[in-house]
């Protein structure tokens, strides 16, 4: 009876915010899955691996480029723009962070869209919508992007599974519903139907912090020529990806994603075997809008595996109650769409910026940005991968990072790894080469002077 009473409390809370019934039903489905501990475990015996010879390699798609050029006028690039820069110490819209040559993610995304003459849509969250609208108005684009708002779910108290309350800031009582909510928000907002009515057929969905995700015409042409309902870009897993989700097939041959939370404890060795389960989801998705509209008309909601995210009700405030965020992942929908495909892409299409280490790499000369390919590894880069470890006490937040790199990132063109410990300020034109450790053990800040070349370990006492 307690859980039933709790459900009524959530329904009343969501109705008071004029949240559509389909979104309420989506929340109730996730709540039931999470609280009843229906983890949706997927056993190794229930799936089979997807091997490299089973999926197409994007390198072989050049012949589809002409089709892609023709399809551009029927295509919308949809960018998931709901995130805050909390992992960098911010509580503002992540896409507004300067990331390359002083330009923000949003500036680059909008410029790229205009140069390709492609339609652009942004899915904002209730946290980012107002700030994004102001930023778009200041950028003054010739063709403003379509914008719609991701749905929100009430936070759940861990103690009794009731709706969280935080009177000091009622916004804290809600969380964005995860990027799996894209399908429902796109449909319920009317944006999906509006785009279809204007002749838009294909959608390319990506995250705002991944500048590697350009609207590639070869991929678009292949997707259009195949007339597939859904296509996921996947990349080869490496050791660093062994704990993340992977692509597989179910017993019916459909593609699925298995996340770590869906793996049985005694099967973790299979899960992390990157030779057995070779591919991970880049979260770059291609979707046929008419197919999605027909699906949503029939189903009304999309039932995806629930992610239970434990967090304080007020993030950063350890005195606030412990709660849960209910979320879903966009890529999980691959198992729902008959005829869905996966396409193998270069890892260059997956460069998300989650921490200041990622920002340092992207902002450096290791990466170049071109109108045709977007963000790409410089052909002059000596090493394909780089390991960066920054002292969180001095580089953990964007403000502290920018203070110590006032002229942008140093040259990393010929750097394989860099570890910085302690307070070190970088003047303009510093170059790091090879494997470098820079450590300042003193209590005072030290400075690497303009034009310095560091190709060995440095210790400041």
pLDDT tens figures, 287-340: 999 999 999 999 988 999 888 888 999 987 888 999 999 988 899 999 999 899
User: Is the model more confident about 244 or about 47?
Assistant: 47
Nearest 5 degrees, angle CA 226-CA 232-CA 237?
130
pLDDT for position 427: 97
Q: What is the pLDDT of residues 162-195, one digit of tens each?
A: 999 999 999 899 999 989 999 999 999 999 999 9
Domains of the chain listed by start with CATH number: 2-349 (3.90.550.10), 356-460 (2.160.10.10)
Count other Cβ atoms within 10 Å, centred on residue 60. Answer: 11
pTM for this entry: 0.92
- The Cα–Cα gap between 114 and 112 comes to 6
242 or 53, higher pLDDT: 53
Q: In what order do the strands lie in the sheet with 307-312?
A: 156-157, 322-327, 307-312
pLDDT above 90: residue 374: no
Q: Could you tell me the CA-to-CA distances from 130 to 148, 242, 336 in Å, in that order?
A: 11, 38, 33
> Can you list the pairs that 362-367 forms with residues at least 24 positions away whose Cβ atoms lie under 8 Å?
362/99, 362/100, 362/211, 363/99, 363/100, 363/408, 363/409, 364/408, 364/409, 364/410, 364/411, 364/412, 364/413, 365/411, 365/412, 365/413, 366/412, 366/413, 366/415, 367/100
| Helix axes of 2-16 and 21-35: crossing angle, nearest 10 degrees | 150
Q: How confident is the model at residue 35 (pLDDT cuts 50, 70, 90)?
A: confident
What is the phi-psi region of residue 102: left when phi exceeds 0, alpha when psi lies from -120 to 50, beta otherwise?
A: left
Q: What was the pLDDT predicted at 118?
A: 84
Tens of pLDDT, residues 111-126: 888 888 889 999 999 9
């Amino acid at each position: 009876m307690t859980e039933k009473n709790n459900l009524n409390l959530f329904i009343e809370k969501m109705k008071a915010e004029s949240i559509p019934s389909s979104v309420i039903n989506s929340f109730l489905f996730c709540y039931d899955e999470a609280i009843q501990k229906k983890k949706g475990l997927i056993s190794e015996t229930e799936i089979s691996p997807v091997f490299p010879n089973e999926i197409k390699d994007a390198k072989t798609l050049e012949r589809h480029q002409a089709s892609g050029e023709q399809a551009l006028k029927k295509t919308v690039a949809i960018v998931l723009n709901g995130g805050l820069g909390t992992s960098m110490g911010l509580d503002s819209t992540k896409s507004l962070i300067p990331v390359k040559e002083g330009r923000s993610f949003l500036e680059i995304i909008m410029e790229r869209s205009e140069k390709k003459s492609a339609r652009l849509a942004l899915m904002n969250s209730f946290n980012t919508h107002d700030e994004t609208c102001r930023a778009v108005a200041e950028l003054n684009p010739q063709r403003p992007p379509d914008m719609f708002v991701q749905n929100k779910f009430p936070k759940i108290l861990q103690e009794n599974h009731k709706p969280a309350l935080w009177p000091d800031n009622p916004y804290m009582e809600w969380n964005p519903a995860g990027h799996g909510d894209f399908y429902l928000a796109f449909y319920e907002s009317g944006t999906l139907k509006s785009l279809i009515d204007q002749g838009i057929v294909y959608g390319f969905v990506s995250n705002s912090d991944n500048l590697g995700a350009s609207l590639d015409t070869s991929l678009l042409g292949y997707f259009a020529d195949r007339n597939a309902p859904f296509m996921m870009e996947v990349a080869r897993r490496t050791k660093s990806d062994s704990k993340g989700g992977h692509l597989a097939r179910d017993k019916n041959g459909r593609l699925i994603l298995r996340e770590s939370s869906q793996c049985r404890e005694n099967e973790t060795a299979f899960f992390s075997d990157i030779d057995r389960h070779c591919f991970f989801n880049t979260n770059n998705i291609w979707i046929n809008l008419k197919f999605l509209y027909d699906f949503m008309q029939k189903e009304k909601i999309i039932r995806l595996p629930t992610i239970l995210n434990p967090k304080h009700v007020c993030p950063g405030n350890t005195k606030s109650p412990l709660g849960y965020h209910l979320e879903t992942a966009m890529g999980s929908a691959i198992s729902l769409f008959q005829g869905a495909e996966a396409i193998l892409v270069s890892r260059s299409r997956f460069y998300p910026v989650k921490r200041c280490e990622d920002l340092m790499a992207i902002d450096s000369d290791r990466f170049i940005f071109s109108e045709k390919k977007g963000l790409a590894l410089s052909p002059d880069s000596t090493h394909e991968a780089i390991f960066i470890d920054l002292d969180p006490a001095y580089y953990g937040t964007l403000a502290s990072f920018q203070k110590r790199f006032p002229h942008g990132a140093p040259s990393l063109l010929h750097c394989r790894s860099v570890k910085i410990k302690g307070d070190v300020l970088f003047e303009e034109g510093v170059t790091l080469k090879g494997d470098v450790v820079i450590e300042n053990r003193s209590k005072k800040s030290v400075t690497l002077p303009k034009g310095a070349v560091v190709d060995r370990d440095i210790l400041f006492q």
